[in-house]
Structure 1
Amino acid sequence: MTVRSAASVRRAALAAVSLAMFCVQLDAFALNAALPRIGRDLGAGGGLPWVVSGYLLAAASLMPAAGRLGDVLGRRTLLTAGLAVFGGASLVCAMAPSLPVLVGARVVQGAGGALAMPVGLALLTRLYPPEGRGRALGWAMGVGGVATACGPFAGGVLTEAVSWRAVFWLNVPVAALAAGCAARAAESRDGSAPGKGPVNGKGLVAATAAVATLALCTDRGPVWGWASGRTATALTLLVALSVVFVRCERAAPNPLVSPALLRNRRFVALTAAGAVANAATVVFLFVVPMSLQGPWRLSAAGAGAAFLAPAAAMSVAGPLAGRIAPARTAGAMAGCLGLGGAGLCAAPAATSLTGYVLVATGCGAALGVAGALTLIATQAAAGPERAGEASGVTKTVITTAGGLGVALSAPATGTSLTMAGVCCLATALPLAAGARRGLPPSAERTD
């Protein structure tokens, strides 16, 4: 393969992954404001939250399997399949005649997103050389950050100007374009590498069921009540599935999550910090727009306009994070968590709208960089040979943490921001201490 053709293949992969991240992240946040209109159009009531929850639960539960399957079956193959599933499900969502059909299609959408996201990140890690890997991942994170930050505003505008169905119609050509770009990328798999043999089927099923149960608890716990019988039953099932998973992993010659990855202290520390960053980001994205319309008394359009500055700050965070050297990512993430946490704690005390927006913009930038660094740095820490496995684990952890962020966001008050800020600060301190002591910078040193 010539240098020019290799560069073309990499650009095609980057375009495919960036577009996939845009679709998946947009649909995670764009429909919250549209739920009342969906309820009126479809004559639905109590089942409306599952339009959002079904998508998130499916995405969270299938990501561990997707990353590992991509290593064995081929990352480009799974990325293309995930985009096809996502696009097809979006088409069904756009034409859904009833709430059950919409919820079912949203679950399939989440499954398609789960297939595409981890393997897409792993594909970039394998195709790009070390000197360009961080920037490529950063650009993909940046595109996903645009969708994350602008999703609620874009969903509200499309719902008011056209219809909530327009959100899904938008996905269809974008997913098709992404699949076309993915088809031009080179295939990448590590099924013949040591420890990368046939997938442990029993462990795969147990892990998927356990993560689905955990995601269900974090999503439905605030609704059911943490002390309710349904929550207790779900938690009991979670413990039982976790025990089954551990036993299957110990007996399997090729475990779903390799012991070497779990012994990688840098990977574990960065994934844990990323979980806190993602939970705080979800709180930020829910509470700040609501506060602009509540205490600050702006209209929906005015709140959207005021939130453009924080959204823009989050959107440029990915490319900025991609320029940070791998050896400095732990310290950089600690600093961003500290700045973001301080801003979240200070925001409720703002005495003017301008001050509130400025603090929110700083928070958006800091949390955006921390979130992008999570995926960039964990890929570097795990190494290319475990890229799919690592991305599956990291995406599962931070997605589930995002569900906890949703629980913290209700009710949407300054107290929620303060709690998220305290969590960020509490995480930043030990991470900064570990960075000063020198966490192992790569996958070669794991003990």
Structure 2
Amino acid sequence: MTGSGVEEPAWKAEGTVREVEGTVREVEGRGGARWALVSVALGVFCIQLDSFALNLALSHIKAELDVSTGQLQWVVSAYLLSCGTLMLGAGRMSDLFGRRRLLIVGLTLFGLASLWCALAPSLPVLVTARMVQGAGGALIMPAGLALLTNVFPPAVRGRAMGRALGIGGLATACGPFVGGALTDMVSWRAVFWLNVPLGVVAALCARRAQESRDTTASGHIDWPGLATGSAALAALAVVIDRGPVWGWVSPAGVGTLCLAALAPAAFVRIELRTAEPLIAPALFRNGAFVALTAAGAVANAATVVFLFVVPLSLQGGWRLTPLVAGVAFLGPAVAMAAGGPFAGRVTGARAVPVMAMSLGAAAVVLLGAALISGLPPYLVAVTGGGAALGVGNALTLTATQGVIRPERAGEASGLTKTVITVAAGLGVVATGPAVDTGGTATAGGNGPLAVAGAGCLAACLLLALWGWVRRGPRARRPGEPVPSAATKGGVR
């Protein structure tokens, strides 16, 4: 009852209570939200630093451990494939058991694995340590993004994610120079040593963050779905890499192909029959989420191929030392790092990812087709491609979080990161042999870059076509409530 004796409508009273409760939570958790932002930013910083600094050290790893480029690519792809395989369950587990808790576990595991990498005496040990490092990264990204989605109010959520990606992007900018300098002056192992203290600081910051979890769930884990989903991803990775070596009609090749075909079917069957599935089937009916994730997968694969091939080409084809190559790659890295803050301000704008990916694809195609000669024009094209791909990748992470329900943020983030990371890992696996046959021997064209750029262009066309045909709902404004599942015909 109100003071005038007129009963207040139930929906209005409920909305007022929720608004007050939200304001209270925002005031009480503001400090915790800041610590969450710092922790996630440092986690992304570690991952980006590891990727960018390591790429400039690959040639020294190859020489010291006496391996071919085809074997060397496993230093990169082992991390990506491990990370992508485990993210499928990591995202949902963070929803169930606590996003802050899983973030701390991921940061700790990533730091310990970095120490293991720094001490690795051989390539098999290094690759194994990289797989463990990938497991830590599998927890950091989906748990961290889901934590930010839930501790920040909708009005500033996109900006918070953009800042985290932007701060992490500083590692993108300084990574090549740091990696080249450390490799030249100390050792490639020093690149991994840097992650250890950073991981400790990030974990300590995460302990002061506000915990969040999906309070609508029972806490049940879909173990059959997790097992079959992970098996499907692992089989896919193995069949891409080992199939040509074993032979497609060999017992090992046929067995792996069967597993790669049967495991996904079993996973879908389990998810459709489980009361609390690992990945809600209705998520795949969210057209915006599916389109952005698919486009992001292609863009991320192109980006990883770009990051794998260009540094090796600078040192191989252009005959630059790791330190000089790091300085030369600084411009493209800074341009790519700027994508995070920009993406945080344009979340939901469908034309932006299409334009960004189109520009990036055009630059990568030109580089791969050897249509650019001379080092200065080459670096200009690399910088333009890096900037466009950086925006496209950051938009995938922020925009997909804007079209789902916050309580299932970890599940959606885990699925998105799984798809784009596995796509990137498979891209590197396919790139290794091609690069080993001469991609780094010439300053000009490279087949993997041309293929990556063409795929990126195709994804742009499909994303633009989907947006034109579907004419989906307009992007939500900051603070606007998410439509219910009943109004959208499925879980978002």
Deviation at 1:312, TM superposition (A): 0.7
**Aligned in 2, Cα 1:228/1:298: closer, same or farther, shift over 3 Å?**
farther
Deviation at 1:370, TM superposition (A): 0.3
* TM-score (norm: length of structure 2): 0.82
Query: Residue by residue, what CA displacement relative to the aligned partner does 1:245-302 show, whole Å, maximum 9, x if unpaired?
Result: 1222122111111022111000000000000110111122123333334444444433
Rg larger for? 2
Distance 2:81 2:247 in 1: 18
Query: Residue by residue, what CA displacement relative to the aligned partner does 1:89-108 show, whole Å, maximum 9, x if unpaired?
Result: 22233334555544433322
User: Which residue of 402, 409, 413 maps to 1:380?
Assistant: 402
Q: What residue is the counterpart of 1:363 in the other structure?
A: 385
Q: What residue is the counterpart of 1:277 in the other structure?
A: 299
Q: What residue is the counterpart of 2:43 in the other structure?
A: 20
User: Which residue of 318, 321, 335 maps to 2:340?
Assistant: 318
Q: Which moved more, 1:269-278 or 1:15-24?
A: 15-24
Distance 1:416 1:107 in 2: 24
Secondary structure, counterpart of 1:270 in structure 2: helix
Secondary structure, counterpart of 1:253 in structure 2: coil
Q: Is the aligned partner of 1:185 residue 2:209? A: yes
Distance 1:224 1:160 in 2: 38
Secondary structure, counterpart of 2:216 in structure 1: coil
Q: What residue is the counterpart of 2:447 in the other structure?
A: 415
Amino acid at match of 2:79: Y
Query: Residue by residue, what CA displacement relative to the aligned partner does 1:205-250 show, whole Å, maximum 9, x if unpaired?
Result: 1111211222333455576677876544322211121122122212
Q: What residue is the counterpart of 2:239 in the other structure?
A: 217
User: Which residue of 82, 92, 113 maps to 1:58?
Assistant: 82
User: Which residue of 47, 63, 69 maps to 2:93?
Assistant: 69
Q: What residue is the counterpart of 1:429 in the other structure?
A: 461
Deviation at 1:418, TM superposition (A): 2.3
Residues 43-442 of structure 1: pairs in structure 2 closer than 5 A:
50-97=74-121, 99-148=123-172, 151=175, 154-193=178-217, 197-220=219-242, 230-326=252-348, 328=349, 330-347=350-367, 348-406=370-428, 407-408=430-431, 410-411=434-435, 412=439, 413-436=445-468, 437-440=470-473, 441=475
Distance 1:181 1:18 in 2: 10
Maintained 8 Å contact 1:218/1:403: no
Amino acid at match of 1:392: G
Maintained 8 Å contact 1:55/1:106: yes
Secondary structure, counterpart of 1:257 in structure 2: coil
Q: Which moved more, 1:257-266 or 1:83-92?
A: 83-92
Equivalent pairs, count: 443
Deviation at 1:389, TM superposition (A): 0.3
Q: Which moved more, 1:61-70 or 1:317-326?
A: 317-326
Q: Which moved more, 1:112-121 or 1:347-356?
A: 347-356
Deviation at 1:50, TM superposition (A): 4.5
**Aligned in 2, Cα 1:100/1:419: closer, same or farther, shift over 3 Å?**
closer
Q: Which moved more, 1:58-67 or 1:138-147?
A: 138-147
Distance 1:118 1:237 in 2: 27
**Aligned in 2, Cα 1:263/1:137: closer, same or farther, shift over 3 Å?**
same
Deviation at 1:188, TM superposition (A): 0.6
Percent identity between the two aligned chains: 55
Deviation at 1:384, TM superposition (A): 0.9
Distance 1:113 1:137 in 2: 17
Amino acid at match of 1:26: L
Deviation at 1:44, TM superposition (A): 7.7
**Aligned in 2, Cα 1:337/1:37: closer, same or farther, shift over 3 Å?**
closer
* TM-score (norm: length of structure 1): 0.89
Deviation at 1:421, TM superposition (A): 1.9
Deviation at 1:157, TM superposition (A): 2.9
Distance 2:312 2:128 in 1: 29
RMSD (Å) for aligned C-alpha atoms: 2.8
**Aligned in 2, Cα 1:134/1:220: closer, same or farther, shift over 3 Å?**
farther
The unaligned stretches of length 5 or more in structure 2 are: 1-23, 440-444, 477-481
**Aligned in 2, Cα 1:127/1:207: closer, same or farther, shift over 3 Å?**
same
Amino acid at match of 2:365: C
Q: Which moved more, 1:23-32 or 1:136-145?
A: 23-32
Distance 1:419 1:321 in 2: 26
Maintained 8 Å contact 1:335/1:432: no
Maintained 8 Å contact 1:146/1:314: no
Secondary structure, counterpart of 1:349 in structure 2: coil
Distance 1:191 1:5 in 2: 19
Secondary structure, counterpart of 2:403 in structure 1: helix
